[in-house]
């Protein structure tokens, strides 16, 4: 996975064993995008069944995705549920949270992306937890955490974590057995494909090939959850 979009990491070391979580009902209606996916037509995507989009807002302590603001407006106008995500690096969590909130404050769904960074320094579990705690203090809610079962160092170092375990999980797992990282027993969102790899790797109308996630529940459940994300 690169810093341009969200994706699942394949295990390189000894796996952390846990049972996969398969909810009785899930809805494959969520996509996530950065400026790398262009052009986009949110009206077409919604007509094709997409219900929500999570847009990249920021990265590190000073980078802003300039596509975020116009796409937030366009997606909202099309009737989609809209959230924002921040790609974490190893810069001070306090500065990263300030950068994220300067762009995405007011979004009901805020996500932190904790994964290996191929360009700069990778965030640690401890730094991710600090960022999550600071977001909680600023907004009153725990953020959604995008992290695979092996953690950002591919070893699971620092997991489970008491702070992160209170956050809803956005799990990247490009197979049929979505096993959670230590500290979680279920996911809220399961990113099952990037449009090229994984189950149902097909283009999305109005967008093309992109990251796509299942929500653990019905679309009505998703609409309610979006107002106040929780475990």
pLDDT tens, position by position, 86-95: 999 999 999 9
CATH of domain 27-227: 3.20.20.80
Using one digit for the tens of pLDDT, what is the confidence trace for 97-127? 999 999 999 899 999 999 999 887 999 999 9
Q: Assess whether pLDDT exceeds 80 at residue 65.
A: yes
Domain range annotation of the chain: 27-227
Q: Return the percentage of the chain with pLDDT > 70, whole number.
A: 93
Question: Which two three-digit tokens encode residue 157?
Answer: 């170092």
Q: What is the pLDDT of residue 1?
A: 38
User: How large is the C-alpha radius of gyration of the chain?
Assistant: 16
Q: Assess whether pLDDT exceeds 70 at residue 11.
A: no
Q: Assess whether pLDDT exceeds 50 at residue 3.
A: no
Q: Average pLDDT, stretch 212-224?
A: 98
Q: Average pLDDT, stretch 37-55?
A: 97
Q: What is the pLDDT of residue 143?
A: 98
pLDDT band at 18 (very low <50, low <70, confident <90, very high): confident
Question: Which two three-digit tokens encode residue 115?
Answer: 């994964």
Q: Average pLDDT, stretch 170-185?
A: 96
Q: Assess whether pLDDT exceeds 80 at residue 24.
A: yes
| Interatomic CA distance for residues 98 and 107, integer angstroms | 14
Q: What is the pLDDT of residue 4?
A: 37
Q: Assess whether pLDDT exceeds 70 at residue 201.
A: yes
Q: Average pLDDT, stretch 220-224?
A: 98
Mean pLDDT of the chain: 92
Question: Tokens 């994984």 identify what position?
Answer: 198
Q: What is the pLDDT of residue 13?
A: 44
Q: Assess whether pLDDT exceeds 90 at residue 220.
A: yes
Helix/strand/coil for 150:
coil
User: Could you tell me which residues are beta bridge partners of residue 84?
Assistant: 55, 110
Q: How far is CA 80 from CA 18, 76, 129, 158, in A?
A: 34, 5, 29, 36
Q: What is the pLDDT of residue 14?
A: 41
Q: What is the pLDDT of residue 17?
A: 57
Q: What is the pLDDT of residue 19?
A: 87
Cβ neighbour number for residue 106 with a 10 Å cutoff? 10
Q: Assess whether pLDDT exceeds 80 at residue 149.
A: yes
């Amino acid at each position: 996975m690169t810093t341009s979009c969200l994706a699942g990491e394949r295990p390189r070391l000894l796996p952390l064993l846990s049972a996969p979580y398969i909810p009785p009902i899930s809805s494959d209606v969520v996509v996530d995008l950065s400026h790398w996916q262009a052009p986009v037509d949110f009206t077409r995507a919604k007509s094709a069944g997409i219900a929500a989009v999570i847009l990249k807002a920021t990265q590190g302590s000073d980078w802003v995705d300039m596509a975020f603001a116009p796409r937030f407006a366009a997606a909202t106008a099309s009737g989609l549920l809209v959230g924002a995500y921040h790609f974490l690096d190893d810069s001070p969590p306090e500065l990263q949270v300030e950068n994220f909130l300067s762009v995405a404050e007011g979004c009901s769904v805020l996500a932190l992306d904790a994964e290996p960074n191929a360009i700069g320094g990778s965030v640690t579990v401890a730094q991710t937890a600090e960022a999550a705690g600071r977001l909680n203090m600023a907004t009153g809610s725990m953020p959604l955490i995008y992290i695979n079962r092996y953690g950002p160092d591919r070893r699971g170092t620092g997991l489970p974590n008491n702070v992160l375990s209170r956050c809803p999980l956005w799990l990247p797992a490009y197979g049929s057995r979505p096993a959670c990282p230590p500290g979680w027993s279920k996911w809220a969102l399961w990113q099952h494909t990037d449009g090229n790899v994984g189950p149902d790797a097909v283009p999305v109308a109005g967008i093309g090939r992109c990251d796509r996630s299942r929500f653990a529940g019905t679309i009505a459940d998703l609409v309610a959850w979006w107002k106040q994300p929780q475990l």
